[in-house]
Amino acid sequence: MTTHWTIEEVKEAMDEQVNVMHVDEINKIPIMSALRNEFKYSIIEAKKVADVVMNEIRNQQEKHEGTI
């Protein structure tokens, strides 16, 4: 059985994880890893960008759901 998470639940989980995770663990999260390694962002900067990305995904989903 597959678990379906809302964007909000994923964002909340990421927030909780980032607050308690070690840097090595944070780098295992694909978007955080890419931001930190490819673009040399700090954890705080990467998290801000990830938040913007998650918000945009949520907005697109809400827009799409409104057209169904």
Q: 3: pLDDT confidence band, cut at 50, 70 and 90?
A: low
In the predicted model, what is the mean pLDDT of residues 15-44? 73
Q: 17: pLDDT confidence band, cut at 50, 70 and 90?
A: low
Question: Would you say residue 1 lies in a domain?
Answer: no
pLDDT at 32 over 70: yes
Cα–Cα distance, 6 to 67 (Å, whole number): 18
User: By CB neighbour count within 10 A (0-12 exposed, 13-18 middle, 19+ buried), where does 54 fall?
Assistant: middle
Where in the sequence is the domain holding 54, given as residue range(s)? Answer: 7-67
Question: Would you say residue 2 lies in a domain?
Answer: no
Question: Would you say residue 35 lies in a domain?
Answer: yes
Please give the tally of structural domains in the chain: 1
- Whether the CB-CB separation of 46 and 32 falls below 8 Å is answered with yes
Report residue 2: phi and psi, to 5°: -90, 140
Question: Would you say residue 39 lies in a domain?
Answer: yes
Question: Looking at the chain, how many residues does it have?
Answer: 68
The pTM assigned to this predicted structure is 0.46
